[in-house]
Structure 1
Amino acid sequence: MAIKVHGIALSTCTARVLLCLHEKGLDYELLPVDLASGAHKQHPYLSLNPFGQVPALQDGEVSLFESRAINRYLARKHKDIGTDLLRSSSLSESALVDTWMEVEAQRFYCPIGTVIHQIFVNPLRGIAPDEQVIEAEMNKLGKVLDVYEERLSKSKYLAGESYSLADLHHIPILVYFMRTAKADAITSRPHVSAWWDDISSRPTTVEVTANMML
């Protein structure tokens, strides 16, 4: 039975799960959720994700939500096929993956997500982007990216010399960010830029993000 993913290709969180599935070479079915009609805020979808957000995953009797947790589940269950996204064969390497996944979730995603919301989402709602908010969040993001630049000057990927969930989790939001006038926050940092060129050009990334066209 194929894995079922409830969500939409444009969603960064849905795309995060699809990237993991592609890296693992797993069969899945993407079941569109009609966000425009508010289907994600109503039953039966709320039985899959009580917070009314996408994505949700069904794998046989297992039902999960929260994209990062879903990816950990998939990487653990299928650790012996596809890319070893958790570096599960090495305790020290897997600890680094955990560390940088936390960095992405706790330090990177909030400022960049706010910038993307201001630039892309607000205009769709008839609200002008707040330049003061954008500037403040870009300052926060810049400090995080300075740490990334230092880290990536010493290793090819965030958690070491192998691609992992720590890198993959950054991709969907960066796809949108790199289409903005703020993309020089990435391109102006040589090691961060090289890292982005690497992870964004992976065949799985190209395949999944081709459907993320606004």
Structure 2
Amino acid sequence: MVDVWLDVESQKFDSVMLPIIFQGLVIPVYMGGTSDLKVLEENLEKLKEIMEVYEERLSKSKYLAGDFISLADISHFPMVHLLHETPYASVLDAYPHVKAWIAGVMDRPTVKKVIGLMKTFG
């Protein structure tokens, strides 16, 4: 299951998160530009569809690959961390199992340490 969720992340999750982060954080905050709202809206809708799949999975287990944390979970945190620096993080509010999963991953001491070391684009 780990490899399945790594594939989902690389093929589905990251492909919609990158434009959201670029349009919602990089362009307006770090480049001083104007976001393309059409690109944002399209990708936020796609993210909602993807989050439905994650919500379904996480309603059955604490983590993506089962009841143990794995690379499949940890590999999501850079994008999720950056999403939380945009005005669009509230899109996740409709998915309580996803929010609990994110909180559980982000609350791990090693993840907190890495986040403390991470520098955003500024």
Structure 1 length-normalised TM = 0.53
Trace 1:84-103 onto structure 2 (pairs within 5 A).
96-103=1-8
Q: Does 1:125 align with 2:68?
A: no
1:106 lines up with 2:11 in the alignment: yes
Give the share of equivalent positions with the same residue, in percent: 41
Q: Tell me which residue corresponds to 1:148.
A: 54
Greater strand content: 1
Structure 2, gaps ≥5 residues long? none
What SS does the aligned partner of 1:187 have?
helix
Q: What SS does structure 2 have at the residue aligned with 1:158?
A: coil
The aligned counterpart of 2:20 is 115
Code of the residue aligned with 1:160 in structure 2: it is G
Q: Where do 1:25-104 residues align within 5 Å?
A: 96-104=1-9
- Residues 24 and 87 in structure 2, CA contact (< 8 A), matched pair in contact too: no
CA RMSD of aligned residues (A): 1.2
Tell me the equivalent position of 2:68.
162
What is the DSSP-based 3-state SS (H/G/I as helix, E as strand, rest coil) of the residue aligned with 1:118? helix
Provide the C-alpha distance between the structure 1 equivalents of 2:103 and 2:67, rounded to a whole number of angstroms: 15
* 2:116 is equivalent to residue 210 of structure 1: yes
Alpha-carbon spacing, 1:208–1:103, altered in 2? closer, same or farther (3 Å): same
CA drift of 1:179 comes to: 2.3
Unaligned runs of 5+ in 1: 1-95
Greater Cα radius of gyration, structure 1 or 2: 1
Q: CA deviation at 1:127?
A: 2.5
Quote the Cα distance in structure 2 between the aligned partners of 1:180 and 1:128. Answer: 14
* 4+ runs deviating over 2 angstroms: 123-127, 211-214
Counterpart Cα distance in 2 of 1:128 and 1:145: 27
- The answer for the alignment partner of 2:103 in structure 1 is 197
Q: Distance in 2 between matches of 1:199 and 1:97?
A: 15
How far is 1:213 from its partner?
4.3
More helix by share: 2
Residue type at the aligned position of 1:170: H
